Amino acid sequence: MNQLEQLKQYTTVVADTGDFQSMQAYAPRDATTNPSLILKAVQKAEYLPLLEQVLQQHAGKTMDEIIDHLLIAFGLKILAIVPGRVSTETDARLSFDTEKTVAKGRHLITLYQEAGIPKERVLIKIASTWEGIQAAQILEKEGIRCNMTLLFCLPQAIACAEAGAQLISPFVGRIYDWYKKQTGQEIYGADDPGVLSVKKIYTYYRKFGYATEIMGASFRNTSQILELAGCDLLTISPDLLQKLSDSNANLTQKLNTDAARTSDLEKIVMDEKTFRFHLNEDAMATEKLAEGIRMFCADTLKLEQMIATMR
């Protein structure tokens, strides 16, 4: 078996792309999107007709409504390919507004249901701010499953799990990027700081019995992926999926529940004050969370500008 086939023995593989045409070759179970991936996709000639169709069908509607329908259009195409779930992201500009994030999550699920998609096949992506986590707690109680994104540290992961979030997406590659910039060194393998962060979260969840799924995300190289074999899910870009497919090197399971349960990690009681203090103490997590929100906001604005020129 190639490495991708071996990986699927231990971990659910998810496609990290808005390019649904590239998914079929790798047979992922789920797929994730975000504003940057959608923007990248609609700039390709093969996806422009989908955007044009949305604009034609929803002429006269507000920009927010058109963006929502575009997200759903991509989601429906993806769900026709993958057997599992698609993650659809809320507007990053709502990252510090619990009430509006809840409303957006409900609205996106309603649009999917109107298209005949059961809510169990959709994950609503929300930034892992305190306000976003509170929104997820409300949505989860309504049966709307959430994927907590832009997650960079254990306190965020704990708060998400205690809120009952379905899934978290710790950003391995962006953590790696921060430490590489700080130290000027490239750290590979088991010592990669992004890998170590996910391993710590995995260990904490398993030791204390949290049901929230862990989906490693934002990979820079296959080494990061191989070191997390055994994680619940890994969302991987098409280029790295291809590299895994091209390699027949042996792959071994690195994460397992039995080892995690014997760790010496202590339980942390996570309230808002504790969350904000620990996040503030972690310069990497603080900077990357803020940066990630800004980047997604910027790409949403670019998408809006592109749509405005076509209307």
Distance (Å, rounded) from C-alpha 65 to C-alpha 59? 10
Structure tokens at 60: 């006269």
φ, ψ (nearest 5 deg) of residue 28: -75, 160
Residue 31's φ and ψ, nearest 5 degrees, are -145, 150
Task: Quote the CA–CA distance of 231 and 13 in Å, as a whole number.
Answer: 10
Q: How far apart are CA 79 and CA 32, in angstroms?
A: 11
Q: Can you list the alpha helix ranges (DSSP code H) found in 94-129?
A: 98-114
The answer for residues whose C-beta is within 8 angstroms of residue 258's C-beta and 6 or more apart is none
List Cα–Cα distances, 306 to 55, 61, 124, in angstroms. 12, 16, 24
- Classify the C-alpha dihedral 242-248-254-256 as positive or negative: positive
CA distance readout (Å), 219 to 46, 194, 305: 26, 9, 29
Q: How far is CA 155 from the centre of its chain?
A: 17
Helix and strand numbers (H, E) in the chain are 14, 8
Active site residue 40: no
The amino acid present at 205, given as its one-letter code, is Y
Name the β-bridge partners of 220.
none
Q: Write out the two tokens for 72.
A: 């759903």
Of the residues 8, 119, 125, 180, only one is catalytic, namely 125
Q: Which residues are catalytically annotated?
A: 125
